[in-house]
Amino acid sequence: MNIVDMILRKKEGKALTPQEIRAFARGAADGSIPDYQLSALLMAICFQGMTAEETACLTMEMMQSGDVADLSAIDGVCVDKHSTGGVGDTTTLVLVPLAAACGAKVAKLSGRGLGHTGGTLDKLESIPGCSIEKTQAEFVRQVQEIGCAVIGQSGEICPADKALYALRDVTGTVGSIPLIASSIVSKKLASGAGAIVLDVKTGSGALMQTVEESIELAKAMVDIGALAGKPILALVTGMDQPLGTHVGNALEVKEAIDILAGRAGGDLLAVSLELGSRMLVACGIAADVEAGKAKMRAALESGAGLAKLAEMIAAQGGDPRVCEDTAYLPHAAYKISVPAPCSGYVAAMDTTQIGYCAQDLGAGRKQKTDVIDPAVGLVMDVRLGDRVQAGDSLATLYLNKPELAAPTIARMQAAVTITAEQPELPPLLYAAVSHEEIIRYA
């Protein structure tokens, strides 16, 4: 197949054939198509889109570009969860240990930061000694023995997606429904989980910024799952402000630990319970969503969830003492407040820009070769609807390079809208999407 012809055809809005899509996926996997041509085709797809048939074909070809995990040795139904990405979205580190403490088997492949969004693997690697590398046999053994594992996709699982994922992050081609859907679902199918729950974000900090776009993405993914014989449920949840208050790798680990220890809560915990309860339903541990939430809350209150996180960290070579004392996590050298420029109500946040502020400080990558500073980021000191006085702290920056403070403060102040009128707060849960139906909550 001639890759230039494929680029030109897609640039004109024409559908690629299954043979062309197979060549695209295999060329990405084995490196036979250079990055600059892969990037050009990604951009053409981003502009022109793909049909449902093209998207399903790309998903299956990326899945088949490497190994497909065999989790049959694990007792019960393995369940997995994935988020389309957001800011301060630390649900994995909260709900995975909680679900495992309730008896679920959670076999999770996670990704790194993409664009303005954080990555679970980067967060885990901020824990001293913690490894996200496991062989297939080690992955299965850990899930069977302790109930959960969160690792990176190996070179053998979805190598086509691994190559394209890294390019999308640095070529402005993240926000494409076919590329997002095929990337997520190919990994989920290859990971071997028996049931999958997806968290599709919507709002100013999401890849899809309108509810209808987010529902469209959710439907695309659950329909691909149905085609592959894999049950997928998607929730559409809000991202009009950072989900948690902490943004940055070690900072987000700290917030997850604080939640599991009972010291924090809020929207991050609420979404974790919504997703986790449906994971328990999917694997047969809870009869319905409310029963699942009750089990999750019991694991939270008993400390079983925090104990399970410590167990998972230890199994992956990390220092479990971080769960007892977060001082063992990396710490930034400087803390600087972002003052409110005027008095009023916090009416809106450009959550994407807040994510980029954390990236500017070193918490994310601008190029795929960038090295992340695990200690830096920011903590939001306000939520939507809060009343502030001029000079009050909107957020606290955690940084190791003090020269980055002034431009980041200016960017943060521009990202937070303050008005005289108290705003109406956006919902947290918008819809539940399955192959059979769409249930709208807001």
82 with 198: CB under 8 angstroms?
yes
- Rounded Cα distance between 203 and 238, Å, is 6
In this structure, the strands spanning 105-110 and 148-152 are parallel
Q: Quick one: which of 59, 60, 34 has its CA closest to 163?
A: 34
Q: Quick one: which of 152, 151, 341, 332 has its CA closest to 247?
A: 332
What angle do the packed helices 159-170 and 18-30 form, to 10 degrees? 80
Active site residues: 82, 161, 168, 183, 187
Burial (Cβ within 10 Å: 0-12, 13-18, ≥19) of residue 291: middle
Among positive and negative, which fits the CA dihedral 281, 113, 55, 194? Answer: negative
